[in-house]
Every structure is written in structure tokens, then in C-alpha cells.
Amino acid sequence: MGKEKVKQYYIETFGCQMNVHDSEKMAGILKSEGYIETGSAKDADVVIFNTCSIRQKAEQKFFSELGRIKSLKKRRPELQIAVAGCIAQQEGIKIIKRAPHVDFVVGPQNINALRDIITSRSDSVFIDDNPSITEVELPADRKDNVRAWINIMYGCDNFCSYCIVPYTRGREKSRASRSIINEIKDLAGKDYKEVTLLGQNVNSYMSDMDFPGLLKEINKIDGIERIRFITSHPKDLSDELIFAVRDMEKVCEHIHLPLQSGSTKILGLMNRKYTYEDYKKKVGKLKEIMPQITITSDIIAGFPQETDEDHKETVKALNEIEFDGVFAFKFSPRPGTRASNMNGQVPEDIKSDRLYEILEIQNKITERKNKEFKGTLQEILIEGKDEKDTGRFTGRTRTNKIVNIPLKNNVKPADIITVKITRAGRHSLEGDIL
């Protein structure tokens, strides 16, 4: 052993799957530079916060974590602290002005700059638009050995009036199909069984082929058994895609289709470009063509100018559509977005009441829908040991329901097995191996 200590990194990730995967890429860069991971900031030579600014709560959480690490930097001035992700993009140099213990600020389009940062320490802020992001291939160090996230596109052009993403992740750009397919073939060679294609609006993927075309190519890759994708925008969900999901045996029967509001007036103010009726028709078609499909959604409570009547329309939509699950949030004004300056901001207590009602109604629906699985046979992909209860394995149905099963000698992660569902709760199902 030489005298030089192996350098260690610690990454803390906030926010969505896109960030989770960006963190895997940052880890990949650091590993290729000889760093190893540590589970604690205390032991690290480099600490990276991969931040989220989608709602104010996520932002506050990050700034309090950032404050906490200040004393560590005081004790060890050689510690490098980097802020990455959406807050980095939005705030740039302001982060260093506010928190001088931060060394580097790296936006989501400039992850590749991390290599320069740790080796040469030239600049400290990397937030330029990066039109060549789709050409940069970064070595991801994936946390999971069974399921993998794959970027198929970056950025978003939709400018929903509440959303910060188009400002932090830039214009929509699709990755070349060849490079996506090569990455997935490589994963298949490493025994990965499932891929989730990531984009803010995967339905508008366009390179030398469109999204259904891309699915067709991925569907041919030997070894990959399941294909998922997030997120779909209702305005771009085409019949062709619905049929592609039905006809390609590896594409799973689950779609995350954010509705946001059941009021067509509010959808207009949100710049979503569909009416509630349009949405309902698409869901009707999905269910007609694939009765087994599960549908999940996002809802925003208390958008500006949302009246009690508008809120009731959202409640009605939940009851009509019966989603399998919903992520619901109080509207959070994001600086720079159109909705943050709209008239008719809804008071916080009303937002809370509406959110509470949405969650209460949806929880009952989720539980009821899960109970429908009781007694059925389901194909599940084993992901690994159940995190909370070490006595069980956990896996998912094709429809994305979590199923816990007892540990059995002949079952291991990455197996695809058939189980009989014996119990159903709100968060997960339980099954027995046949």
C-alpha cells in the first residue's frame, strides 16, 4: 500500500428519478477518477448535494443540510463541497455568495464538468446551456443490479406555468437511438432485467425514430425482460403509443400520466394544452385496449384562481378515473414561473385542506384497487430483500405494484416468478410463491 489515502465521495440526492440517475453518473465519474463511496459526509473528500427545486419544501430541506455541513468545512478546509442539480442551475454564483463554504456549483446539463472540477479546480460555477448534452456518454455507477434508469431525452419545452424544469434543465433534446440501444445492450450483458426510460415528456422523443419506434428496438434486446418509461404528457399520448404498449411483450402495463387538475379552467391556466374531457377519453382508450393497465398521476392542490368548484372537479376526476396511485402536492410558487405571479393565489390553509381531501379520497381508492389483486396470479421481478422486513424479498408486478414474498432458497434477485397475491394493503401486496 502506498501512503496516499484513497479519496472518498459522498453524494446526497434530493428529488426525482432524473436526479437519482444524474447522481449515478456523478458517482461513475468519481469512481473512474479513483474515488470510492462513503456513507457519511464526515469521511468524505468530496461532498455533492444533488438538489431539487420543484417545490419550496425540497429547496428548504437542501439549504438546511447545506448549513449543517459548514462546521465540517471549517474543521477540514480541504473538503470540496459541490452543489449540483436544479437549485445549482437556478441560483448559480448566488449559492456561493450565500454559503461561502461551497466550492462548486454544477447545473444538471454540466455533470461532465465534474471531472475537471475535482482534478484541476479551475472555475467554480458551471451552469451554461449545454446543447451537446445528448452526445456526452458518462459512465453511470448504478445502485441497482436488476433495474436501470436510462435517459432518452433531456430538458422540457412545455412550460407548464407552475413548473421550474424548463428553466433548470433547458430545452428538450433527444439522445440518438443508437447510443440508447447500445447502453441497454450493455446492461443486458450485465444481467439487468428491467429498464426505465427517462424523460420529462417521453412521448415527444424524436431522433431518427419516434418513441414507439424506439420501444420497438428496445423490445428486441435479448435479456431485457421489462421496459418502463416516465413521464408521459397527456397531450402527446398517441394511439400508436397505446398500441405499442399493448403489443410489445416487454413494455409493462403501467402508465404515469399526470392530470394535475380535474378543472379544464385550471388546466388552461396551467398551460397543459388538454381539457379534462380529452384526458378522460385517453384514459378510456387505455383501459379499453388494456383492461389490466394501471394508471398513476400527479395532482396539484390550490393552483392560483382555483375555486371550491374547481377543486370539486378534481375530486370528481379522482372518483371517475380511479387512479392506482397519485402524488399530490400543494401548489408551490416557483420564482420566475408564470404561475408564481398570477392573481388569485390561494391561501396556505385552503391549499392544505384541499390536499388533505385529495389524499383521503385517493388513499381509499388505492386500497380498493390493490384489494382487487387479492387471489390473482402475478408475474413479479424480484428486486432484492425487503428494506424494512429482512425476512422477505420484494418485487414488482408488471403493473408496478410492490409485492413482498417470503424468502425461499431457490429464489434470488433478478428472477421473474409467478406468485399468488394473499394480502393487499395501501402501499404493497403480499404474495406466496406457487
Interaction site with ligand 5AD (CB under 6 A): 54-55, 162-163, 258, 260, 298, 300, 329, 331-332, 334
Q: Is the Cβ of residue 326 or residue 421 nearer to ligand 5AD in the bound state?
A: 326
CA atoms within 13 A on the CB side of 360: 6
Cα–Cα nearest to 148, from 17, 250, 30: 17
Considering CB distances under 5 to 8 angstroms, the limit depending on partner class, which of ligand SF4, ligand 5AD, none binds residue 55?
ligand 5AD
Nearest approach, Cβ of 163 to ligand 5AD (angstroms)? 5
DSSP 3-state of 386 = coil
Task: Look at the alpha carbons of 29, 30, 35, 38 in this order and tell me if their dihedral is positive or negative.
Answer: negative
Nearest approach, Cβ of 200 to ligand SF4 (angstroms)? 4
Considering CB distances under 5 to 8 angstroms, the limit depending on partner class, which of ligand 5AD, ligand SF4, none binds residue 300?
ligand 5AD
Considering CB distances under 5 to 8 angstroms, the limit depending on partner class, which of ligand 5AD, ligand SF4, none binds residue 334?
ligand 5AD
Nearest approach, Cβ of 135 to ligand SF4 (angstroms)? 22
Nearest approach, Cβ of 297 to ligand 5AD (angstroms)? 8
C-alpha cell recorded at residue 376: 390473482
Residue 328 one-letter amino acid? A
Q: Is the Cβ of residue 9 or residue 331 nearer to ligand 5AD in the bound state?
A: 331
Nearest approach, Cβ of 230 to ligand SF4 (angstroms)? 10
Nearest approach, Cβ of 125 to ligand 5AD (angstroms)? 25
End-to-end CA separation in angstroms for the chain: 51
- Measured CA to CA, the distance from residue 153 to residue 105 in angstroms comes to 23
Residue 150 one-letter amino acid? I
Angle at 323 between CA 156 and CA 250, to 5 degrees: 70
Q: 331-334 contacts: CB < 8 A, separation 24 or more? A: 331/162, 331/300, 331/301, 331/302, 331/303, 331/304, 331/306, 332/54, 332/55, 332/56, 332/57, 332/162, 333/56, 334/53, 334/54, 334/55, 334/56, 334/162, 334/163, 334/164
Q: Is the Cβ of residue 351 or residue 401 nearer to ligand 5AD in the bound state?
A: 351
Cell 446543447 belongs to: 131
DSSP for 134-158, please give it: GG-------S-SSEEEEE-EE----
| Residue nearest ligand 5AD (C-beta atom) | 298
Nearest approach, Cβ of 210 to ligand 5AD (angstroms)? 23
Q: Is the Cβ of residue 224 or residue 346 nearer to ligand 5AD in the bound state?
A: 346
Give residues in contact with ligand SF4 (CB under 6 A).
156, 158-160, 163, 165-166, 200-201, 233
Nearest approach, Cβ of 229 to ligand 5AD (angstroms)? 15
Considering CB distances under 5 to 8 angstroms, the limit depending on partner class, which of ligand SF4, ligand 5AD, none binds residue 54?
ligand 5AD
Considering CB distances under 5 to 8 angstroms, the limit depending on partner class, which of ligand SF4, ligand 5AD, none binds residue 148?
none
Q: Is the Cβ of residue 332 or residue 378 nearer to ligand 5AD in the bound state?
A: 332
Angle at 42 between CA 36 and CA 44, to 5 degrees: 25
Q: Is the Cβ of residue 49 or residue 331 nearer to ligand 5AD in the bound state?
A: 331
- Measured CA to CA, the distance from residue 124 to residue 397 in angstroms comes to 45
Considering CB distances under 5 to 8 angstroms, the limit depending on partner class, which of ligand SF4, ligand 5AD, none binds residue 229?
none
Q: Is the Cβ of residue 177 or residue 260 nearer to ligand 5AD in the bound state?
A: 260
Residue 175 one-letter amino acid? R
